[in-house]
Structure 1
Amino acid sequence: MKRKSLLAGVLAGTLAAALSACGGGSAAAPSSAAPASEASSAAETKSDGKKVGISMPTKSLERWNRDGSYLEKQFQEKGFKTETTYADNKVDQQVKDLEGLIADEVDLLVVAAIDGESLSQVLGDAKDANIPVIAYDRLIRNTDAISYYVSFDNYKVGQLQGQFIIDSLKLDEAGSSTFNMEVTAGDPADNNATFFFNGAMDLLKPYIEKGTIRIPSGQDTFEQCGTKQWDTATAMTRMQNILGSNYSDGTKLDIALCSNDSTALGVTQAIESDYAGDGRPLITGQDCDEANLANIVDGKQTMSVYKAVANEAVATLDLGEAILKGEKPDEKLIVDSNWSFDCAYDTTSYDNGRAVIPSYLLTPVAVTKDNIQKELIDTGYYRMDGAYPKALA
C-alpha cells in the first residue's frame, strides 16, 4: 500500500521522560472514509487472513467515528480482516463487544477504552487466548494484558492549551492586571484527562499563585472540574451554574480552559445563554470537531488542539503488523516505518498499575483561526465547505 505524505509543520514536543524521537516517511491519506461495520473483510494475500478486532467507545463523539474509519482503512488495505464495534459509551456493552471479538478468534485487539479501569477481566481472557492487545489513545489500567499503547503526547496537549493562554493574554507582561478563569476538565474514567488537565495547570499554576489568574468559582482541582463521559450537556449545565453563582453581576470571564471540544461546545453554549459580562472569553479545546471549528471561524471558540488520528492509525497498523509477525517492537519500529509525522517511543511514563506500558506517542498541534488552512486543509485532513472546515473522514 502506498500512503501519501500529509502532515508537515507540526509542533515538536517530548515528555520529560526518556524518549526516542522519530520522523520522516509515510502518513495516512484521508481521501475517503472507510465505512464503519460490525465485521469488515479484505483480501487475505498480505496478512494470511488474520483478523483485527477494533473496539471503539462510541459514535456519539465525532472523533471516534474518524478513528474507527481510519483504523479499518489502514488494516484492510494491508489485507487484514477487521471487525469493529462501538459501545455507545457503556462499559458493559464494551465488555460484551470484547467478549464477542475474543469468541470470534481475532488475532489482535485494538481497544479505545470507555473506562480504563473496567476491562481487566475481559482482557485477561484475551491474554489467555494469546490475543495481543494494543491500548489505543487511552491507557487501560490494572491489567497485564496490554502489549503496547499508541496515543498522543497527552501532557503536551494540555501544555499547548496553557501556553496559548499565557501567550495570548501576555500574562508575563500583565503587571497588576487580573484575569478570571474557569476550568472544565475531562472524564475521570479516562486516563488521558488527567494528563490534559495537568499539562495546562502546571503551566498556569504560577500565574494563579501570584494572582494574575483568579478562579472565582474556587473549582480548581481535577475532581471538581471533571466532566463525566466528556458530555456536552453536562459541561453546559456546570458552566451555567458557575456563571449564575459568580458572574451574574457582570463580572468578566476572561478564560474558559476546556480540555476538549465536546466540553468546549457546552461551555460556549452556556456563555451564549447565561453570561452577563462584556466580550467573549478565550476558550480552548481539543480534537478539532467540525462544530468547534465553525465556532473558531466565527470567533466563539479561540483554539483547539488537533491530533491527526489518521497518523495514529498508521502507527497502530505498523505496530500491529510487527506484533503479528512475532516481533517485539521498540524504537526501531519508528525508524523502519519511516513515518512522516513526529512521534516518540516512551518506556517510562505510562504505568498502568501492573506494568509500565511501552508507548508510541504522536505530537499534537495547536489550531486557531489563523492556521486552520495550514494545519487542517493543506494537510488534506479537512476540506472547506463554504466558510467552514469539514473532516474528510
Structure 2
Amino acid sequence: MNVRRRTLAVFTAGLVLSLSACGGGGAGSTDGGSSAPADPADITVGVAMPTQTSERWIADGNAVKAGLEKAGYKVDLQYANDDIPTQQQQIDQMITKGDDLLILAAIDGTALAGQLDAAKAAGVKVISYDRLIRDSANVDFYVSFDNYKVGVQQGTSLLTGLGLLNADGSKGTATGPFNVELFAGSLDDNNAGFFWNGAFDTIKPFIDSGQIVVKSGQTKIDEAATLRWQQEVAQKRMEDLLTSAYSDGSKVDGVLSPYDGISRGIITALQNAGYGTGGQKMPIITGQDAEIASVKLINDGVQYATIFKDTRKLAEQAITASEAYLDGKEPEANDTTTYDNGVKVVPSFLLQSDIVYKDNITSLLVDTGYYTQAEVDAGQAS
C-alpha cells in the first residue's frame, strides 16, 4: 500500500474530528454563523484538477476527495488532461448538476471567467486551489503555498549548490563566474510569475556582480517560459541552448528549473550532450514538487534540489475552507494583500515549503510518511 495513502487515512480521520470541532486554527472561520449547516450527505463538492500526467495533481485530487468524503460530503472529482475546453466543460457540468461548492485548480488561470460568472449566479462559492484564477471578481478564496518564497528557495538552492552561499545563507567560498541558464513555468499559470520573481530577485545580485553569467542572454520570463510545464518542451529548449550558447566548448554550471518535470527534461538534454559521464559533472539543477522520480535523482546526485510542497497540508486547508463556506461562514485568511487576480485581491491561506537536498530527504520525506525509503530508492511510488 502506498505510504501516502496510509498517511492520508490517518490525516483524513483526524481532519473529520477537526472539522466537527468549534473554532480551531488553519483556514477555518471562528466567527459564529447563525444558520444551521446542511447535512454533509446532501452536499456535493466539485473538484477540478488540471491533469493526471503529474503525480502531484493525482495526489492533490485524491487527498481532497478522501478528506471531503471522510467528512461526509459527496465529491465530483474531474481531471482535464491539460485541455482547457475540457476543464471548462467539466466545471459547467458541475454547476448544471447543482454541485454546492467548487475547488478549482485551473489549467489556464485566465480561461475560467465564464464558469465563475455562472457559479456566482448559482450561489456557488469558488475556492481557487494552488493556481490563482485571474480576471474574475468571483474567486472567493485561494489556498496555496507562499509562491514567491518558493522561488526564493529555488534561487537559494541554486546558489548553495554553486557554493556562492552556504546552507545557512551566509556567503560561500566560491567566486565564479558560473554559467547558468534560467527556466520558467507556463505563462498561463499565475504561480509561474511568483516563482520566477522570487528566484530571479535572489540570484540577480550575483548576475550583476558577474559571479553568474547567463550565456544565452535569456533573462526574461517570456524567454525562459515552458508551455504547460512540459518536460519535452524543456528538453528541446535546453538542447537549443547547448547548441546556440555553448558550441564554443564552455560548460553549463547550473540551471534554474521551477518544476521537477522540467528538471528531468533538462537533465535528459544534458546527459545526451555528455554531462554526467566521462568526467563532465552534472550542473546544479533545481526543481519543485518533490516528485518521486526527481527525489531519486537527488538521492543519486544527478539533480541537486527540489522544493517540497506538502500536498496533504494544502488539501487540508482546502477542505477546512470548504467546511467554513458550507457552514455559512467565512474562511480565515492569513494573507489579504498579495494575490491580486487583476480584478480583486483574493483572500488567501498560504502554506510554507521546504528545500529538499540529498542530506534531508529522510527527515523531510521519509520520516514524515510522504514516501518510503523503498520508494526513494526505486524512484517510483508503490
Could you say which residue in structure 2 is the equivalent of 1:311?
A: 313
Aligned ranges 1:284-303 → 2 under 5 Å = 284-303=286-305
Residue 12 of structure 2 contacts residue 67 of structure 2 at CA under 8 Å; is this kept in 1?
no
Could you say which residue in structure 2 is the equivalent of 1:131?
A: 124
Aligned match for 1:77, one of 70, 92, 103: 70
Could you say which residue in structure 2 is the equivalent of 1:330?
A: 332
Aligned ranges 1:1-393 → 2 under 5 Å = 3=11, 47-171=40-164, 172-173=171-172, 177-275=176-274, 278-331=280-333, 345-385=334-374, 387-388=377-378, 390-391=380-381
What SS does the aligned partner of 1:3 have? helix
Sequence identity (%): 39
Amino acid at match of 1:199: G
Which whole-Å CA distance do the structure 2 matches of 1:284 and 1:174 have between them?
20
Which whole-Å CA distance do the structure 2 matches of 1:271 and 1:139 have between them?
33
Residue 293 of structure 2 contacts residue 379 of structure 2 at CA under 8 Å; is this kept in 1?
no
Q: What's the CA shift string for 1:21-74, capped at 9, x where partnerless?
A: x77xxxxxxxxxxxxxxxxxxxx9961420000000011111111110000011
Which whole-Å CA distance do the structure 1 matches of 2:186 and 2:121 have between them?
30
Q: What's the CA shift string for 1:74-133, capped at 9, x where partnerless?
A: 100000000011111011111000011111100100000000001001110011000000
User: CA 1:179–1:354 in 2, change beyond 3 Å: closer, same or farther?
Assistant: same
Residue 229 of structure 2 contacts residue 261 of structure 2 at CA under 8 Å; is this kept in 1?
yes
Q: Note the C-alpha offset of 1:298.
A: 1.5
Amino acid at match of 2:181: E
TM-score normalised by the chain length of structure 2: 0.86
Q: What's the CA shift string for 1:247-284, capped at 9, x where partnerless?
A: 23331211110001110010000000025693110000
Residue 256 of structure 1 contacts residue 284 of structure 1 at CA under 8 Å; is this kept in 2?
yes
Which whole-Å CA distance do the structure 2 matches of 1:175 and 1:2 have between them?
45
TM-score normalised by the chain length of structure 1: 0.84
Q: Note the C-alpha offset of 1:389.
A: 5.5
Residue 383 of structure 1 contacts residue 389 of structure 1 at CA under 8 Å; is this kept in 2?
no
Which whole-Å CA distance do the structure 1 matches of 2:260 and 2:113 have between them?
29
What SS does the aligned partner of 2:337 have? coil
Residue 294 of structure 2 contacts residue 379 of structure 2 at CA under 8 Å; is this kept in 1?
no
Amino acid at match of 1:366: I
Residue 307 of structure 2 contacts residue 356 of structure 2 at CA under 8 Å; is this kept in 1?
yes
Residue 382 of structure 1 contacts residue 389 of structure 1 at CA under 8 Å; is this kept in 2?
no
Q: Which moved more, 1:92-101 or 1:276-285?
A: 276-285
Q: What's the CA shift string for 1:145-192, capped at 9, x where partnerless?
A: 111000001111111111122233232445753001001110000000
Structure 2, gaps ≥5 residues long: 1-8, 15-24, 27-36, 165-170
Which whole-Å CA distance do the structure 2 matches of 1:315 and 1:72 have between them?
13
User: CA 1:59–1:175 in 2, change beyond 3 Å: closer, same or farther?
Assistant: closer
Which whole-Å CA distance do the structure 1 matches of 2:146 and 2:205 have between them?
23
What SS does the aligned partner of 2:40 have? coil
Residue 179 of structure 2 contacts residue 212 of structure 2 at CA under 8 Å; is this kept in 1?
yes
Q: What's the CA shift string for 1:298-333, capped at 9, x where partnerless?
A: 2110110010001101111111001111102224xx
Q: What's the CA shift string for 1:187-230, capped at 9, x where partnerless?
A: 00000001111111101001001100000011111000000000
Amino acid at match of 1:153: D
Amino acid at match of 1:259: P
Could you say which residue in structure 1 is the equivalent of 2:18?
A: none
Which whole-Å CA distance do the structure 2 matches of 1:390 and 1:107 have between them?
36
Q: Note the C-alpha offset of 1:2.
A: 6.6
Which whole-Å CA distance do the structure 2 matches of 1:391 and 1:278 have between them?
30
Task: Kindly indicate whether structure 1 or structure 2 has the higher relative contact order, using CA contacts under 8 Å at least 6 residues apart.
Answer: 1
Q: Note the C-alpha offset of 1:4.
A: 7.8
Number of residues of Structure 1 aligned to a counterpart in Structure 2: 346
Which whole-Å CA distance do the structure 1 matches of 2:313 and 2:174 have between them?
42
Amino acid at match of 2:324: A
Which whole-Å CA distance do the structure 1 matches of 2:12 and 2:344 have between them?
36
Residue 293 of structure 2 contacts residue 380 of structure 2 at CA under 8 Å; is this kept in 1?
no
Could you say which residue in structure 2 is the equivalent of 1:31?
A: none
Structure 1 runs (4+) greater than 6 angstroms displaced: none
What SS does the aligned partner of 1:305 have? strand
